[in-house]
A and B are shown apart, each in its own frame.
Chain A
């Protein structure tokens, strides 16, 4: 079974604070994704990457940076957190090929920005 681990599971910070969300996958997948989940909006893609050192912009990138340091590790950075970034964040991994395009999600990080 594919494994995606996120940390921390819960985080509280203040407006203007600096937050890093971590994600590690042991699936040997090339692609990794950061989503945020909000009621009424569903899952929205923030950033994604197809390998170490690569970064692709998603649909809601404003206020977020990301970095893929290795095939396994993908980080989401909020350098000046705002209350609008209070959300449930999911990391996911996937590979692409014949029938191999399934997303595997982590357990999520619940972020509150006060």
Chain B
């Protein structure tokens, strides 16, 4: 079945350093949508960015990700971490065949001064 793997459960970074959160997926569907959702403390999880186009960079709020179907990856990156980036980040996959979403276990990012 479909699944999403986020290898890091906890990431702690110093402000100003680059961010890279890993996401790989498994699906039988040839045209999946991949998403990054962000969950700030005491707020609702919300969409950060999404893509279904192979090898095209998607950007939003300083973050970017590129869907690589050849490696089944959709890693989230940012050039310089800010304190306000501290949050829980989820990678997710949607399978239009079943109108469902599959989430990874999440990566908790903490940015320290």
| Residues 1-51 (chain A) with a chain B CB within 8 angstroms | 4, 31, 33, 35, 40-45, 48, 50
How far, in angstroms, from A101 to B96 measured CA to CA in the complex? 8
Residues of B within 8 A of A107 (CB): 43-44
B41-71 CB mask vs A (1 if < 8 Å, else 0) is 0011111001000000000000000000000
Interface size on A, residues (CB 8 A): 23
User: Chain B: interface secondary structure?
Assistant: strand
Point out the residue from A35, A50, A106 that lies within 8 Å of B99, measured CB to CB: A50
Give the docked Cα–Cα distance between A40 and B105 (Å): 6
Q: How far is the CA of A50 from the CA of B105 in the complex (A)?
A: 25
- A77 CA / B92 CA spacing, docked (Å): 26
List 20 A–B pairs whose Cβ atoms lie within 8 Å, in order of A's numbering.
A31-B99, A41-B105, A42-B105, A42-B106, A43-B45, A43-B106, A44-B103, A45-B100, A48-B100, A90-B45, A94-B101, A96-B99, A101-B33, A102-B47, A103-B37, A103-B92, A103-B101, A104-B46, A105-B45, A107-B43
